[in-house]
Structure 1
């Protein structure tokens, strides 16, 4: 028996989310099936620094230090680096690395997690390295 089909419920709801600018609803509209995680807000760093346990090997965390947003990464066990978390293309805060790649959620520029070097544009330059040190089980931004 033939049925008449119109836009799916998902299509209608996603259209409304776009019209209303509802970012949480838009996450469910991704084509990947499961809703995408909302971008993490930077966590303020305590005066004592960021505990190394909060920076996974091969990953990182976005934090604020004073008025700066910093991406702390641990490319290999025991090696910690810091980068200005602002994408050099338009200043959007980048996401922590996945599989060795830092991605900007705005235009999908990609950067090497170990060096900050640009891998794929539209960014034309890499992330700016920020000096960090490890003391008493915490990563300190210099």
Structure 2
């Protein structure tokens, strides 16, 4: 009978010993500052979720008047950034920075800024202009009907 108790005790302690490194590994990925490690995990998961949301369609994002000409407006709940590079020309991208997954910020300075590590993206095509981000923001299809901007 003690052999069974020992087996159970050893099995339980083995599970705990295995669980601790797994938790530690998960924690280190969430706070990793290594750009190579961050870029290999973030871009593959975030743009896909943005694309999946775009498939739902019809989600009201903002009014055209809210998006500054030569700037951008972030819609945090939808994780979308709307841009208006020139008057009447609206574009949309994932608001999730491709460097480490921070949300970019609303701006009227001619670029899409990321507050976490100073990456900057183009209003025209979401491509990186500067900073540690090297991949563009994923495009999001939108429809502009009068003053209403919705996800296509």
Question: Shorter-chain-normalised TM-score: which range?
Answer: 0.5 to 0.7
Aligned length: 95
Gap runs ≥5 in structure 2: 1-57
Query: What does 1:9-28 correspond to in 2, within 5 Å?
Result: none
With normalisation by structure 2, the TM-score equals 0.57
Unaligned runs of 5+ in 1: 1-45
Superposition TM-score, scaled by structure 1 size: 0.61
Q: Can you list the C-alpha shifts for 1:105-141, whole angstroms capped at 9, x where unaligned?
A: 0010111111111111311111111011101321111
Task: Name the structure 1 match of 2:145.
Answer: 135
Question: What is the alpha-carbon root mean square deviation over aligned residues?
Answer: 1.9
Q: Could you say if the C-alpha distance between residues 49 and 91 of structure 1 is closer, same or farther in structure 2, counting changes exceeding 3 Å?
A: closer
- For 1:1-80, what aligned pairs fall within 5 Å after superposition? 48-64=60-76, 68-80=78-90
| Residue 101, structure 1, aligned to residue 111, structure 2 | yes
Cα distance change on mapping 1:92 and 1:135 into 2, 3 Å: same
Between Structure 1 and Structure 2, the one with more helix by share is 2
Structure with greater strand percent:
1
Higher relative contact order (CA 8 A, sep 6+): 2
Q: Is the Cα–Cα contact under 8 Å of residues 73 and 80 in structure 1 kept in the other structure?
A: yes
The 3-state SS of whatever aligns with 2:79 is: strand
Residue 87 of structure 1 corresponds to which residue in structure 2? 97
